[in-house]
Structure 1
């Protein structure tokens, strides 16, 4: 098992290096610092002096890879590649184009993002698995048919509709919760209740259909027929055997999602006014703050790779065959 995990870790490093190099090429080769300055300044006839000043204030006036004007090791380190790209490997994201410390913003906004994303993930996983098990238990009945129809309806509706509808009905008409905003501590429950419910409902249809298909596939296998032949009840077969073996493919989707929880939800945080990393990314895109966008893309790639590694680790825990590879 250890050799299996070491191979996965060794594959992760070149993947992350490739993502970093691709980001550098997109932001500094395909789109030059002059192009970023013109886009940020937002003027069609901006002067070259204004462009040079914008670049100098943000460190974009340095050479890309080799600084011949510097001395010693600074010839390589005092470049855009090292200061703006390579430092991300040690999680040093520097300052945004507006001059704010990105690491400080990440630490501040990570809490609200997790406060929203974790309940949505855990509650959604529990509800989806429970609902899918119920449909599998009552398979080929009107309950199963009605549940599948409901899932298709939920999948066919945009998540934005749930957000706007929830804000209008629950927050405005019924006045049960605030429409938007966020407060720390116990007061956050009032502000997070509606976004959590909306997040669970928005992802319920697709997840239930997927889990139901997994459980139905397991029900048709030989070990289930053997368990029934030994006299086990249908509920015992479903919960003791089908659920356990069905969790192996479910872990693939569930564990990969865990690291992305840190990035927050772009739509939910923006519409509900939650100061998390999702809304932070949206604000950076609208403000054309390229430093923040680069940092968030790199963090997303890093967390996705970590999610794949966590998936491999979870496989070794639930599937003995993986441990022998």
Structure 2
């Protein structure tokens, strides 16, 4: 197992380097520092002096990859690529355009993001797996038919509709919860109930239909027929055998999502005014804060790769037959 983890981490390194190079090219080659200065200064006819001053204040006045005027290692280290991209690998994300430390902001905003994402993830998983098991248990019946129709209908509705509709119905009409904002301490639950509820409801259609397909595929296998031939009840077959053997394909989609929980939900946090990582990213895009966007892209890549490794490890927990050399 240890050797397998080492190999996977070594495989992940070229992927991160490739993502870093592509991100750097998008921010500093396709969109040059001069273009970034013009966007930030917000004027059409900005002077060359103002552009030079803006670049010098943020370290964008250096060469991209190679500095011929420096000596020794300075030819490589005194470049935009080293200061803005290579330092990401050691967790040095630098500062945002407003001067705030990006690492500190990300740590402060991780709590609100997890406060929404974790309950949504756990409740959503319990609800959708339970509904999928029920539809598979009553397969080929009216309940199964109308359940699938309802799932397809819910899949066809945009997540934005659930957010706006939930805010209007529960916050504006019934006034049960605040329409937006975020509290401190135990008072935060009032602001989290509606986003979590909407997140769970919005994911019911697609997830339930997907899990139902997995369960139905397991129902037709030989071990299920063998269990029934032994006289086991249908309920025991589903919960003791079908559910257990369906965990591997379920984990494929579930465990990968876990690291992305730290990144927050872009739409939910923005519409509900939650000061999490999702709204932080949206605000950075709107403010054209390239340092924050670049850092969030890199962190998202790292978390996604970790999710893939966690998925492989989780396979050994649900199926002892799987071992990694």
Equivalence for 2:229: 229
Partner of residue 316, structure 1: 316
Of stretches 14-23 and 35-44 in structure 1, the one that deviates more from structure 2 is 35-44
Secondary structure of 1:70's partner? coil
Q: Deviations 1:252-289 (Å, cap 9, x if unpaired)?
A: 11000000001100000000000000000000000000
Corresponding residue for 2:85? Answer: 85
1:5 alignment partner in structure 2? 5
Match of 2:48 in 1: 48
Q: Which residue matches 1:99?
A: 99
Report how far residue 47 of structure 1 moved.
1.1
Give the alignment of 1:186-205 within 5 angstroms.
186-205=186-205
Instruction: Please state how far the C-alpha of 1:99 moved relative to its aligned partner.
Output: 1.7
Q: Is the 8 A contact 1:5 1:312 kept in 2?
A: no
The correspondence of residues 1-325 of structure 1 with structure 2, limited to 5 A, is: 1-323=1-323
CA distance in 2, matches of 1:113, 1:80: 31
On the 8 A contact 1:265/1:278 being kept in 2, the answer is yes
Q: Which runs of 5+ in 1 are unaligned?
A: none
**Distance in 2 (alpha carbons) for counterparts of 1:279 and 1:3:** 39
The Cα of 1:21 is off from its aligned counterpart by 1.1
Q: TM-score, length-normalised on structure 1?
A: 0.97
* Paired positions, count: 325
Q: Following the alignment from structure 2 to structure 1, what is the Cα–Cα distance between the partners of residues 314 and 85?
A: 32
What per-residue deviation string (whole Å, max 9, x for no partner) do you get for residues 11-64 of structure 1?
111111111111111111122111111122222211111111111111101111
What CA distance in whole angstroms lies between the structure 2 residues aligned with 1:92 and 1:258?
24
CA distance in 2, matches of 1:10, 1:113: 30
User: Quick one: distance in 1 between partners of 2:267 and 2:324?
Assistant: 43
Q: Deviations for 1:63-85, whole angstroms, at most 9, x for unmatched residues? A: 11222333443232121111100
Could you tell me whether the CA contact under 8 Å between 1:4 and 1:323 is conserved in 2?
no
CA RMSD of aligned residues (A): 1.2
Is the 1:248–1:318 contact (alpha carbons within 8 Å) kept by the matching residues of 2? yes
Gaps of 5+ in 2: none
